[in-house]
């Protein structure tokens, strides 16, 4: 839990650089040391400096947890070894027989974990259109314990109205977990809108440089924090100190990067929308997005993720993803470099045989922070003749 009093007054850009990261008291080192240690010497049994064993706590991890918590206005943060480890820990809060309402457009790995793993342990899932709060309300049963949202969604870039769904969740005493990976805390702060848990794959915008895999959960709820901390220590999905250092280092430039990701993506989305080979562009910053007004209310900016469908359908899409040179064909997102991918066969392959399969013609872009003219030139060249 964060203890620096000044943090109460700091803005996001300052918190990203300083929250949880006072200079090292032993040496004055301005960067948080990488405490590459598994254990801590005790003067007598139980007489220690706050650290016993690094599965439970590690100072580098603590700095990251405090920083991420501060970015979302939360007292509590937990860092995990991956985004999926964080998601798994949320499901571990539940019991066999509990029911979960989840969005029908979510990261393929989230669906796989729910459908192939947690269903075996007795959890039940309803996959609903979370763009429609009434559909969420209608899906509630006496067994419902958790509502799981992605907003914007991966890969459809649809939004969920966090405040409206938080009202529904609060009225029924349900946990509302928001996967905030696509927006990052620089653009959206779900806990301030009433969500119970905000979750991240820190692999993406928080790390920002495609060099680390990690996850995080932030919360204001004392009891849920204690349960999650217990479960994490019991189950062990902790990140190593180097990985925590890399995410901390990435977070320092998060607000700067998100401004450029958003500015570049808006330009790229407008270019694509005007291109004759493109049938449809999904980007919350476009006036044509069906939830553009909600995006303006709920987000500070619109982020770096775009999805599109080509007039030539899936065949043209398959060609397109192999023709770009700057946009590298790869899974993942949120790094400084631009990526392109085909969710149906790549990140969301685990949904293809399900009711929530993604459109085979959908192409997803993670727009990086390169010069936007170079990015548009790359896309224009790849679209020629399709
Ligand atoms: O990859 P990992 O750090 O375990 O995070 C999983 C995850 C959770 N939530 C969202 C919204 C995600 O997008 C992801 C990971 N997504 C990809 C790897 C991808 O290319 O979509």
Same domain assignment for residues 228 and 269:
no
Distance 18 CA to ligand 1 centre (A): 27
Distance 86 CA to ligand 1 centre (A): 11
Of the residues 66, 88, 115, 179, which is catalytic? 179
Given 205, 227, 251, which residue is the final one in a domain? 251
Residue nearest atom 6 of ligand 1, based on CA coordinates: 83
Same domain assignment for residues 360 and 371:
yes
A 10 A CB-CB count for 123 gives: 21
Query: Mutation test of ligand 1: which of 105, 154, 345 has the most ligand atoms closer than 8 Å to its C-beta?
Result: 154
Of the residues 204, 220, 300, 364, which is catalytic? 204
Residue nearest atom 5 of ligand 1, based on CA coordinates: 83
Residue 203 CA, closest ligand 1 atom number: 3
Same domain assignment for residues 131 and 28:
yes
Long-range own/partner contacts, residues 230-234 (CB < 8 A, 24 or more apart): 231/89, 231/92, 231/93, 232/78, 232/80, 232/89, 233/55, 233/56
Given 228, 251, 274, which residue is the final one in a domain? 251
Query: Is 105 considered catalytic here?
Result: no
Query: Is 120 considered catalytic here?
Result: no
State which residues form the domain around 145: 2-251
Residue nearest atom 12 of ligand 1, based on CA coordinates: 107
Given 251, 275, 292, which residue is the final one in a domain? 251
CB 217 within 8 A of CB 89: yes
Same domain assignment for residues 263 and 128:
no
For residue 19 the two structure tokens come to 């929250």
Of the residues 107, 205, 283, 344, which is catalytic? 107
Same domain assignment for residues 117 and 222:
yes
For residue 88 the two structure tokens come to 């798994």
10-residue mean pLDDT profile of the chain (386 residues): values are 66 97 95 98 97 98 98 98 98 98 98 98 98 98 98 98 98 98 98 98 98 98 98 98 98 98 99 98 98 98 98 96 98 98 96 94 98 98 96
Binding pocket residue ranges, ligand 1, CB within 6 Å: 82-84, 107, 109-110, 150, 154, 179, 181-182, 201, 203, 213, 215, 331-333, 347
Provide the domain count of the chain: 2
Distance 285 CA to ligand 1 centre (A): 22
Residue nearest atom 2 of ligand 1, based on CA coordinates: 83
Same domain assignment for residues 83 and 209:
yes
Query: Mutation test of ligand 1: which of 68, 79, 82, 83 has the most ligand atoms closer than 8 Å to its C-beta?
Result: 83
Query: Is 9 considered catalytic here?
Result: no
Distance 89 CA to ligand 1 centre (A): 15
Angle between helices 372-383 and 254-273 in degrees, nearest 10: 30
Same domain assignment for residues 258 and 246:
no
Query: Is 364 considered catalytic here?
Result: no
Give me the pLDDT at residue 2, please: 47
Same domain assignment for residues 258 and 112:
no
Same domain assignment for residues 245 and 290:
no
Give me the pLDDT at residue 5, please: 54
CATH number of the domain bearing residue 267: 3.90.1150.10
CATH number of the domain bearing residue 94: 3.40.640.10
Same domain assignment for residues 74 and 182:
yes
Give me the pLDDT at residue 4, please: 52
Of the residues 40, 51, 55, 260, which is catalytic? 55
Cis peptide before 324 (omega within 30 of 0): no
Same domain assignment for residues 267 and 243:
no
Is pTM beyond 0.85 here?
Answer: yes
Q: Which residues have CB under 8 Å from 227's CB, separation 6+?
A: 93
Give me the pLDDT at residue 8, please: 78
Largest CA distance in the chain: 74
Angle between helices 59-71 and 241-251 in degrees, nearest 10: 30
Same domain assignment for residues 181 and 261:
no
């Amino acid at each position: 839990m964060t203890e620096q009093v000044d943090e109460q007054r700091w803005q996001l850009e300052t918190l990203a650089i300083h929250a949880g990261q006072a200079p090292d008291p032993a040496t004055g080192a301005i960067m948080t040391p990488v405490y590459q240690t598994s254990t801590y010497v005790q003067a007598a049994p139980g007489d220690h400096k706050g650290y016993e064993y690094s599965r439970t706590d590690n100072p580098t991890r603590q700095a990251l947890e405090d920083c991420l918590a501060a970015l979302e206005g939360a007292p509590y943060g937990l860092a995990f070894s991956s985004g999926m480890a964080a998601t798994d820990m949320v499901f571990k809060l539940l019991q066999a027989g509990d029911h979960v309402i989840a969005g029908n457009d979510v990261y393929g790995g989230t669906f796989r974990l729910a459908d192939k793993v947690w269903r075996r342990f007795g959890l039940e899932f309803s996959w609903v259109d979370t763009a429609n709060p009434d559909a969420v309300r209608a899906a509630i049963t006496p067994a419902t314990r958790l509502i799981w949202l992605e907003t914007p969604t991966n890969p459809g870039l649809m939004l969920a109205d966090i405040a409206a769904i938080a009202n529904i969740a609060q009225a029924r005493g349900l946990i509302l977990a928001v996967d905030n990976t696509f927006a990052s805390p620089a653009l959206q702060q779900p806990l301030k809108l009433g969500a119970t848990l905000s979750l991240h794959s820190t692999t993406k915008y928080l790390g920002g440089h495609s060099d680390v895999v990690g996850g995080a959960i932030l919360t204001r709820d004392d009891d849920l924090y204690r349960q999650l901390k217990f479960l994490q220590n019991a189950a062990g999905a902790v990140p190593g100190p180097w990985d925590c250092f890399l995410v901390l280092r990435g977070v320092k430039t998060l607000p700067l990067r998100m401004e450029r990701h958003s500015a570049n993506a808006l330009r790229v989305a407008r270019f694509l929308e005007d291109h004759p080979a493109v049938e449809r562009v999904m980007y919350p910053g476009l006036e044509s997005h069906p939830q553009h007004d909600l995006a303006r209310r709920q987000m500070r900016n619109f982020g770096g993720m775009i999805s599109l469908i080509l007039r030539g359908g899936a065949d043209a899409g398959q060609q397109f993803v192999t023709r770009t040179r700057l946009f590298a064909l790869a899974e993942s997102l949120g790094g400084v470099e631009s990526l392109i991918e085909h969710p149906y066969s790549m990140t969301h392959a685990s949904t293809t045989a399900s009711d929530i399969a993604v459109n085979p013609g959908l192409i997803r872009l993670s727009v990086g922070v390169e010069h936007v003219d170079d990015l548009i030139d790359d896309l224009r060249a790849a679209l020629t003749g399709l």
